[in-house]
Chains A and B, each alone.
Chain A
C-alpha cells in the first residue's frame, strides 16, 4: 500500500495568504466609500482602472517568467497594490498617470525583484513616488475639492471624461489638499486665518477626516483579525504624534496634531501601506521601530520638506532600513540570556 510521506506538522491552521489579502482589500472599502462621498467618483474609477492594469501586468509578467498565472493571481497581492494606488492617487489624476504608476509598481517594483514575497520596497509606494517626481503637475493639481463645497459636483460621466482627457478639468473641481494649503498659508498668516478656509471644515479637514476615520475603522478590523500586526500602525502614529506635539505645538508654525493624524494619507499609511509585510520589518520590536521611523520621517517632510505629504518617501526610506532593523532586533531565544544581534556574516568580516 502506498502511503503518503510528509513532514510534520500535518495539521494546518485556517489562515491563508489570499484570505489575508482579500481582507485587506475588503477593509479599504469604508475609506473608499468616504472618498467617493466627499471627493466624487475619481478614486473609485482609479481603483478599478489600476486593478485592471495590475492584473494585466501581473499576468503578462508571469507568462514571461513562465510561472503559473492562475496560481499567482489568486494570491490577490497585485490587486492590493492596485487598490492602494487607486486610493492614494489624486481623484482626477489622468489615466496615464495611474497606468504608469501601477505598471511600474507591478513590473519593476515587484517582479524584477522576484515577485511576491521578494520585493524589498512597497510596490504601490514605488509607483506612487515615481509618478510624484515624474509628473509633479498632474500629481498636485488634480486633487478634488470636497463635494460639500461645490455647487455642482462632477458627474460620473464628467469624471470619466476628465480622467480620460476628453474634457479639460475646471478649476472649481480641483483644489489644494488641506495639508498643502496649511503648509503654504501658515508661512504668511496665523493659524486662525488659515483654518478659516472652508476645506478645513470644522477645524480638521473637510472630508479627509472621514476618509481617515474610515481607514482607521477598517484597520482596526484587520488588527482584530490578526491580518496586520499592531506594532507598525502604533509605531507610525506615535512617530507622527510625538514630534508634532513636541515641535509643532505652535499651530502658527506647523499643522496641529489633529490635522496630521486625520488629514492626508495618515491612516491609510498606518494600517494599509506600512503594514505591507513583505517590505516591512518582521521582528516585533523591529516593527515598532519601523513604524515609528515612517511616522517621524513623515512629520519631518511634512513640516520641513517641500512636499505636503510624505507617506511614499517615508515608507520607501524605511523599507531600506528594514533588513538592518531586523538584524538588530532579534528576539531573545528561549534558553539564552541575551538576544543575539547582527548577522553572522557581519561578524566574520
Chain B
C-alpha cells in the first residue's frame, strides 16, 4: 500500500485492540484483481432447507411443480428461521436427502430444481423509498426475502433488525473487515456496489435507530475504502479503518476494536447494545427492500491455485460446486482438498457435488504450494506461542492438555467454551498440533454430555415422580383398607356385644351387608342388564351379530374367572396373616364364584345359539379396568418365573465354566421375578381393596 493512500486512511476515531492475533499471508490479490462475474445457470440446482442457523425451512412446493425465479419454495419455520426461494425458474425435480456443505459430509433434505432456462422472475414488490415503509414492514420484507447472515454464520437477519428488548442499539457495526486470507468477496462487493452496501446499512439503521453507525474495514482494502467513502457522503455512517490483523473480523474482536467494549461470556452483542452485520447481508437487505428480490444468489470467491480463472462470481444459490468449478478451470489434480470458506476457519468438503449456500463466501482449491498439508504433530513443548496469539486470551495449550485427557470440567473451567475456533493457535503452533480440532471435539463432547445429563435428570425426575405417585396410591389404599377394617371390626364388636346370644346366621347376615355386597350386586345387576340388553338386541340385529361378541363374553368370563383366582389367592394369604378376614373373604369368593358361573352361563348361552350373539361391553368398565392390570402383571410374573426356571435348569446342566455367568443371569432374573411378584401382589391387594 502506497504512503499516499495510507495517508487518506487516517481515522478520526480512537481504536482499541484485542489480545493476540496473527498475520498470515493475505493472498488476496489472487482473486481481487478482476471484477465480479456472473456465473451461468447450472443444469441442476440443489437447495438445502437448512442454510442458516435455526430451524430448517418448511417446504411449500411439490415435486413436479413449476416455479418462477424468486418464488418461495420453503417457508420460515418459527422465529429463528428463514424462507428459501427459487434462484431461477424451473421445475421442482425432487425433494430428497443430498450431501450438503458441512464438515461432517452428511446429507440433509434438499429441493432439487431443474432450471427451464427462461430465468423468468415472479412478481416482485419493489419500493422506491424505504423511509415510507414501517419498520415492521421492513422486517417482514427481509424475513420474506430469506436473508441470513452472509459472513459465514448464517443467522437470520430479520431477527437482528429487532432492537433488543427494553434497550436501544447504541452502535450498529457493518463488518467489512474480511480478515481471512484469500477471501475477497466483500472487498469486490464494496468496490463495485458500495452504494448498495451503504443503502442496505441505512435501511438497517432505519429499523434499529442506533446511536452510531460504523463500518469496520481493514487497511489492506484501499480501493474498497475509497469506494465506501464516496458512498457514505451525506450519511451519518462513519468508516473506521483498522489495522490488518487476523481475526479482526471476528464479531467480538471487531466490537472490541471499535467500541472498546467486550461481549460478556455467554452473551450476544445485542446485550451490550451493539449489532453487527456483514457487508453482503447489507447488500442483500437493500435488494430485498428496494426491489423485493429475495436472496437467491451471492458473491463467492473462487481462489487457490487449483482454479485457473480465479476471481469473484455472483452465483445462484444451489449451484453444485463441481459444476461451478468446472466453469472456471478447476484442476482437480493440483489439489487434494476443497475448502468452503477461508484457510483459517473454512471446512473441507467431502464431495464436490455439494451446493453453494447462503453462507458460502469462498471456495478455496489450494495446491500444495498454497497450503501445504500439516506436518505430523509433535509434542507440545508449552512454548506459549498459542497463548500469545489467542484473540480470546485463553490458554490454548492448557485447553489442549485438558481436551486430550478428556478432562472436560477443567477445560470448561479454563473457558474452553469462549474459544471462537479462529485457528490462530494452530497456525502458530510450532509442533503442528491440530489444536482447534481438539477444542471442537471437546466442545461437542461437553455439549453432548450436558444434553445427556439433562435428559437423565429429567428421566430421574419422572421416575421419582412415578415412584412417589405409586407409593402415595398404595398408602392411600392401605389407609382406606385399615379404616374399613377397623370400622367393620367395631361394628362387629358392637353387634356381638349387643346381640351376644344371636345365632351364627345373623352374623352371616351382617356380613352380607358389608361393603362387598353392594358392588357385587351392582355388577351382577349390570351383567344381568347387559345380558338382557344383548338378548333384546339379538332378536333385532340377528344378521349383524358376529363372533367377536362371543369373544367378549368369553373375555368377561375369563376375567371374572381370573378375578376369582386372585381372590382365592388373597384368601390363602389372609388365612395366614389375617384370620379375622377369612370369613369375609370366603363369602366374597363365593359371590365371585356365582359371577363366574353367570358369566359362564352367559357365554354358554351365547355360544350355544352360535349365530345369535350378544353385543360387547357386558362387563361394565368399572369392573374391567383393573383386570388387565393384574393380567399383565401376572403374565410378567409367570414369564419371568418360567424364565427363571429355565435358567435354573440350564444352570443345573451347565458346564462348569458357564456356571458363574448363568448364576449371575439367574440372580438377575430372580430379582425380576421378585419385582414382578411384588407388583402382582400389590395389584392383588388393590383388587382386594376394591372388593372389600
Contacts and interface: CB of A to CB of B under 8 A. Distances in A.
B418 A333 contact: yes
B348 A17 contact: no
B412 interface: yes
B262 A16 contact: no
Nearest to A5: B348
A11 B344 contact: yes
Contacts of B375: 16
B607 to A, nearest CB: 71
Contacts of B418: 333-336
B263 A335 contact: yes
Interface stretch (B165-173, B386-394, B508-516, B532-540): B386-394
A72 to B, nearest CB: 8
Interface string A304-338: 00000000000000000000001000111111110
A150 interface: no
Contacts of A331: 19, 387, 393-395
Given A6-B337, A71-B376, A117-B381, A12 B395 contact: no
B336 interface: yes
Given A19-B430, A277-B382, A6 B348 contact: yes
A181 interface: no
A75 B387 contact: no
A3 B352 contact: yes
Contacts of B427: 9, 11-13
Interface stretch (A88-96, A205-213, A340-348): A340-348
Nearest to A322: B382
Contact of A282 (B103, B351, B372, B387): B387
A42 to B, nearest CB: 30
B105 A5 contact: yes
A161 interface: no
A234 B346 CA distance: 40
Nearest to A12: B374
A330 B410 CA distance: 13
B387 A13 contact: no
Interface in B12-59: 18-19, 22, 24-25
A12 B18 contact: no
Contacts of B24: 11, 13
A10 B373 CA distance: 8
Contacts of A336: 264-265, 415, 418
In the complex, which range does the number of interface residues on chain B fall in? 35 or more
A7 B263 contact: no
Given A9-B427, A344-B413, A4 B381 contact: no
Contacts of B263: 335
A277 B383 contact: yes
What is the interface of chain A mostly: helix, strand, loop, or mixed?
loop
B352 A282 contact: no
B436 A340 contact: no
A141 interface: no
B431 A17 contact: yes
B409 interface: yes
A143 to B, nearest CB: 32
B582 interface: no
A331 B391 CA distance: 12
B364 to A, nearest CB: 8
Contacts of B337: 3-4, 6, 10
Interface residues of A, number: 48
A332 B351 CA distance: 41
Interface in B378-404: 378-385, 387-388, 391-395, 397-398
Given A10-B337, A71-B376, A331-B387, A340 B414 contact: yes
A62 to B, nearest CB: 13
B189 interface: no
A340 B413 contact: yes
B366 interface: yes
Interface in A9-31: 9-13, 15-20
Contacts of A8: 339, 341, 343-347, 421, 423, 426, 436
A278 interface: yes
A13 B344 CA distance: 11
A330 B395 contact: yes
B379 A115 contact: yes
A3 B345 contact: no
Contact of B428 (A15, A283, A333): A15
A116 interface: yes
B413 A334 contact: no
B393 A343 contact: no
A174 interface: no
A9 B425 CA distance: 9
A264 to B, nearest CB: 27
Give the top 10 A-B pairs by smallest Cβ distance, nearest first. A9-B423, A117-B379, A7-B437, A344-B413, A335-B265, A11-B343, A277-B383, A17-B430, A15-B430, A334-B392
9 contacts: A8-B344, A8-B345, A8-B423, A9-B422, A19-B430, A117-B379, A287-B384, A334-B256, A336-B418
Interface of A: 1, 3-13, 15-20, 71, 75, 77, 115-118, 226, 229, 277-278, 280, 282-284, 287, 326, 330-337, 340, 343-345, 347
Interface of B: 18-19, 22, 24-25, 103, 105, 181, 252, 256, 262-267, 332, 336-339, 341, 343-352, 364, 366, 371-376, 378-385, 387-388, 391-395, 397-398, 409-410, 412-415, 418, 421-424, 426-432, 434, 436-437, 440
Given A8-B341, A334-B18, 6 more contacts: A6-B348, A8-B436, A10-B371, A17-B431, A77-B381, A331-B395
